[in-house]
Structures are given as C-alpha cells and as structure tokens.
Amino acid sequence: MFLYLSIIINLTALFMTHPLSLGMCLLLQTIIYTMITGSITSNFWFSYILFLMMISGMLILFMYMTSIISNNKFKFSKILMITITTCFITMMFMSQYTNNLSNINFYNNLNILINNFFNTPMTFLMLILMIYLLLTLIATVKIINIKSGPLRQKF
C-alpha cells in the first residue's frame, strides 16, 4: 500500500512546477518512507531519526526558497488532478489482488539487511560518515557570513 502511494507521489511530482508543491511531495515521500522503514524494523528509532533529518533539511530549503522566489500564484493543474484520481482508483483495485504472504518474507529479509548496517563490520563506516557530516556542518557554518544577512534585500 505504501509503495503504491510512493509511486503515485512520484508520478504527480513530474507535473508540478511550483517549488512549494514539490516540497510537499518531498514531505509526503518522507512520511511514507518513514512508515515503511518503521514497519520493517522492530523499532521506530531509525525511521524517527530519518524523519527528523529530512524535516530539518526541508526547513532549510524552505527558508532558502522563500528568500529567493517571488510570490507566484499557486495553481492546480487539471492534468495533475486527473492523474491523481486515476492512480488512486488503480491503487484501490490493485490492493485487492495483492498477496500479503509474499510481502512478509520480503520484510523479514529487509529487516536483517537494515539491522546489519549498524552491526560490528559496518560500525566503523557509520562512525566515519557521522564525523564527515559533522565536519561538513562546521565548515558550512564557518563559510556563512552572518553580517551580510539574508539573500533577499530589504528595501
């Protein structure tokens, strides 16, 4: 069910032109992938951290986009509405014919793969990745000139 929703959101994102609507698609994708990851693993901590990281990144993107773009009118496309409607109808018919027993084995194998990512052989790689992200954050903060202010000039 979640995978069908993800595919529908990906298809509708192709027809969107406004940055805020694309941000909404990204937010919905994040929520769907958080639910998928939480249902696969035995606990929701990994998906909770993933959600918080994506939301914080989207907040930064939102602030950047609102300081650059002008106030354009947000319009709904008829093609987009027709696409969403047909995809939801197709998803409802497809969900009746899927076999849930084959999904159980897939989720068990995927749970093992996600948990192995944080176990002993991969711990060193995760530590290096965390240090790299911390150094990138520190370098970004040092590069930014606080005295110059926001990107949009106030008149």
Q: Give residue limits of the domains in the chain.
A: 2-119
**Looking at residue 26, what is its pLDDT?**
86
* pLDDT tens readout for residues 70-101: 666 767 677 777 877 787 777 777 666 665 54
User: Among residues 62, 40, 38, 60, which one has the least CA distance to residue 51?
Assistant: 38
* pLDDT tens readout for residues 103-147: 555 555 655 666 666 677 777 877 888 888 889 888 877 777 666
Q: Has this prediction a pTM greater than 0.75?
A: no
* pLDDT tens readout for residues 45-76: 878 888 888 888 888 877 777 777 666 676 76
**What DSSP letter does each residue of 33-98 carry, written as one string?**
HHHHHHHHSSSSHHHHHHHHHHHHHHHHHHHHHHHHS--PPP---HHHHHHHHHHHHHHHHHHHH-
CA 23 from centroid of its chain's CA atoms: 9
More confident residue, 4 or 152: 4
